[in-house]
Amino acid sequence: MNEDEVKHYAGLDWKALGYIVSIVSVFFLGAIAWPKPGAPWWHLPALIIGIATSVLGMAFRYLAHIHQKKEMSKKADRR
């Protein structure tokens, strides 16, 4: 089994699955870190911004992955 076969075993996009798991974990960690009553005012905005930027970063990486797959497919079709 070569590297591409391992990455896409049985049609599953392992990178996509990894990004989904990472996004879910960010929300679980955010839930645990949710500020308690009496926490400084800036804790909640900082937490929300951190969660949003983490999810956005993973979404951008996944879009880059899709773009890369399309480019590789185009190159393979040209052969």
Domain ranges in the chain are: 14-78
pLDDT on residue 20: 94
pLDDT on residue 12: 86
pLDDT on residue 27: 97
Q: Which amino acid is at 60?
A: F
CA count, 13 A, side-chain hemisphere, 65 = 15
Q: Output the tens digit of pLDDT for each of the chain's 79 residues.
A: 566 655 556 688 888 899 999 999 999 999 999 999 999 999 999 999 999 999 999 999 999 999 998 998 888 888 7
Cα–Cα dist 11/1, whole Å = 14
pLDDT on residue 5: 59
Q: What 3-state DSSP class applies to 33?
A: helix
